[in-house]
Amino acid sequence: MLVLLGVVVVVVGFVARINPLLVILLAAITTGVMAAIGPGVGPAELAAAGVDTIARFGKAFNDNRYFHITWLVLPVIGLLERTGLQERARILITQVKAATTGRLLLVYLMVRQATSALGLISLGGHPQMVRPLIAPMAESAAETEHGPLTDKARFRIRSMAAATDNIGMFFGEDIFIAIGSIVLIVGFLEQAGIRVEALHVSLWAIPTAIAALLVHGTRLALFDRQVKRDMAAKDAAGQ
């Protein structure tokens, strides 16, 4: 039952609002050490169990290091944000006179969908692109046009930026023949006795991607009007 102390560490750590990554690491080490406790186990054995647990973490990270690139990039993005990344993004977009929220997100949609179709899905994403760059730039474009934003308008812009990233990647990645979703579709159909070529599935994803671009692109083209209505409602309430 001592191995359940890892669960206790998780609960206490989250209640105390300690860094989640540190909490999970400590919980895993606690579970590994407690699993080694038995009759006649002394401090030396416990220390060895702790070292062995940490060594296993290192081995797992090394064996699967190509999956952890994102987790290595996130701290870098955090440091950049702390030193003014979002502020620089806001300043940059204010210098583009023709930029509006809808136009900016429309450009990002096309870029995101095109890069995803080439298999470069890691070039975008919420933590590494939307939160530090796209959303602040979209908000800045709206502030340049309408002045200080209401909470409703600000959250609407953020949600639309996140949705644009999702749509661009979701409907763009299926065009890339070596993506996991294509393999899944081909495997599922093959189990049902239907044999299709991965290339054919990829090609048939192109009309869907075009339709998604047209539909969401239209929404983005009209999005500036929605932001304007939100700001007009604020002005009317202020009067």
pLDDT, tens digit (0-9, with 9 covering 90-100), for 47-56: 777 777 778 7
Residue 76: its pLDDT value, please? 62
- Cα angle, residue 18 at apex, residues 14 and 20 outer, rounded to 5°: 70
Distance (Å, rounded) from C-alpha 5 to C-alpha 137?
45
Asked if residue 122 and residue 193 are part of one domain, the reply reads yes
Asked if residue 215 and residue 107 are part of one domain, the reply reads yes
| Structural tokens at position 237 | 């309430």
Asked if residue 109 and residue 29 are part of one domain, the reply reads no
Asked if residue 147 and residue 36 are part of one domain, the reply reads no
Using DSSP, state whether 10 is helix, strand or coil.
helix
Asked if residue 111 and residue 49 are part of one domain, the reply reads no
Asked if residue 137 and residue 27 are part of one domain, the reply reads no
Domain membership flag for residue 92: no
Residue 163: its pLDDT value, please? 95
pLDDT band at residue 38, thresholds of 50, 70 and 90? low
Distance (Å, rounded) from C-alpha 231 to C-alpha 151?
10
Mean per-residue pLDDT for 184-188? 83
Average pLDDT of the chain, as a whole number: 81
Q: Which residue has the higher pLDDT, 46 or 172?
A: 172
66, pLDDT greater than 50: no
Asked if residue 116 and residue 57 are part of one domain, the reply reads no
239, pLDDT greater than 60: no
Domain membership flag for residue 8: yes
Please answer whether residues 40 and 30 qualify as being in contact, where contact means their C-beta atoms are separated by less than 8 angstroms.
no
Domain membership flag for residue 157: yes
238, pLDDT greater than 60: no
User: 66, 83, 112: which is the final residue of a domain?
Assistant: 66
Supply the DSSP symbol for 19. Answer: -
Q: How many domains does the chain have?
A: 2
Which residue range forms the structural domain that includes residue 192?
98-238
Instruction: Please name the residues in contact with 61: beta carbons below 8 A apart, sequence gap of 6 or more.
Output: 68
Q: Which residue has the higher pLDDT, 212 or 180?
A: 212
Asked if residue 210 and residue 114 are part of one domain, the reply reads yes
Least confident of 57-61, 170-174, 213-217: 57-61
Asked if residue 213 and residue 102 are part of one domain, the reply reads yes
Q: What confidence tens digit (pLDDT) does each residue in 197-237 have?
A: 888 888 988 999 999 999 999 999 999 888 888 888 765 65
Asked if residue 108 and residue 160 are part of one domain, the reply reads yes
Q: What confidence tens digit (pLDDT) does each residue in 101-159 have?
A: 999 999 999 999 999 999 888 888 887 889 888 998 899 989 888 888 888 889 999 99
Asked if residue 152 and residue 40 are part of one domain, the reply reads no
Residue 40: its pLDDT value, please? 61
Residue 172: its pLDDT value, please? 92
Residue 169: its pLDDT value, please? 93
Domain membership flag for residue 20: yes
